[in-house]
Amino acid sequence: MKLIVGLGNPGKEYEGTRHNVGFFCVDKLKEALAGAKIIFAKPDKFMNNSGPAVAKILRYHKIKPSDLLVIHDDKDIPLGEYKIQTGRGSAGHKGAQSIIDALDTKDFTRLRVGIAPTDKEIKNTSDFVLKKFSKKEKEIINQVSNEIVERIKSQI
């Protein structure tokens, strides 16, 4: 059994924001992988406090951290790109750090979805990640999320 977790913030006001790209990807994966022996989760805790909820799901279903995939936004990766890494630190991502702290291990896989603009510098990270995607950015996120779905499908 595997667990795929998308990180984001709960509530209507956060739908469509950069910080909720993990939720968006999990929704697409859940639809594409219906019937697979995978648990999909979107913690109902705010991103930076998601670790205890993820740890609870792992314990309840007796899933090892090595069978965990966490999908989240990354302001250091250009919009339209993503990286998959296992056993790495949080790189400053507070949601990822919350999970590392709660599990007391880095032995899980992270899929980091790029949200960084290619044309400007981020001045205020909090404001930036909580803004909604523009129409053009939504198209790019939709395209990269389709690529992510195909990549994950090919690895299952």
- Catalytic residue numbers? 19
Q: CB-based contacts of 93: which residues, under 8 Å, 6+ apart?
A: 72, 73, 74, 112
d(CA 154, CA 67): 16
Contact between residue 87 and residue 106 where contact means Cβ atoms under 8 Å apart: yes
Beta strands 68-78 and 82-86 are unpaired
